[in-house]
A = this chain, B = another copy of it.
């Protein structure tokens, strides 16, 4: 294949649409036959970071571990899609520096919109005080300063967001061809 590895890191609030966009990108890349791994928050919590909580130290350790694994895969030519809230700028920067081939996707859906959707009912529980240290409610989210892509999901479809990610990977030399997504 001679494929260049890269970590594509989706950051944003809970319910912003990270995983949804990530899945569309995944399908498009799989259809092209790329070597691909998805490190999704839930899979990672189960397999790598069980026992970690939501303090800053634990969140940072969580991101550091995802970064460690993403790095191993990336330097072996794999395209790694990471979907994680990853609220802290500094640790995201550390991971970027370590991996090198790193593309940051900011899914910038505003808090009000995420809270209105509240697909998993988590915001409601956080507002009621049943979940503590919930990002955006009583824990900070630090947006990226210069993400490679900003997915503004309140103004564009999932496919448009995914297309922007794919176009970015092409322009940075990680893809030879860009799949064109059907706009649904």
Residues on A facing B (Cβ under 8 Å): 35, 37, 47-48, 50-51, 61, 64-65, 68-69, 72-73, 76-78
Partner of A77, one of B50, B65, B68, B76: B76
Closest Cβ–Cβ distance, residue A60 to chain B (whole Å): 12
Closest Cβ–Cβ distance, residue A140 to chain B (whole Å): 24
- Residues in B neighbouring A50, C-beta threshold 8 A: 61
Closest Cβ–Cβ distance, residue A158 to chain B (whole Å): 26
17 contacts between A and B (CB under 8 A): A35-B76, A35-B77, A37-B72, A37-B76, A47-B64, A47-B65, A47-B68, A48-B48, A48-B68, A50-B61, A51-B51, A69-B69, A73-B73, A73-B76, A76-B77, A76-B78, A77-B77
Closest Cβ–Cβ distance, residue A89 to chain B (whole Å): 21
Q: Which residue of B lies closest to A39 (CB)?
A: B72
Closest Cβ–Cβ distance, residue A49 to chain B (whole Å): 9
- Residues in B neighbouring A35, C-beta threshold 8 A: 76-77
- Residues in B neighbouring A69, C-beta threshold 8 A: 48, 69, 72
Closest Cβ–Cβ distance, residue A172 to chain B (whole Å): 21
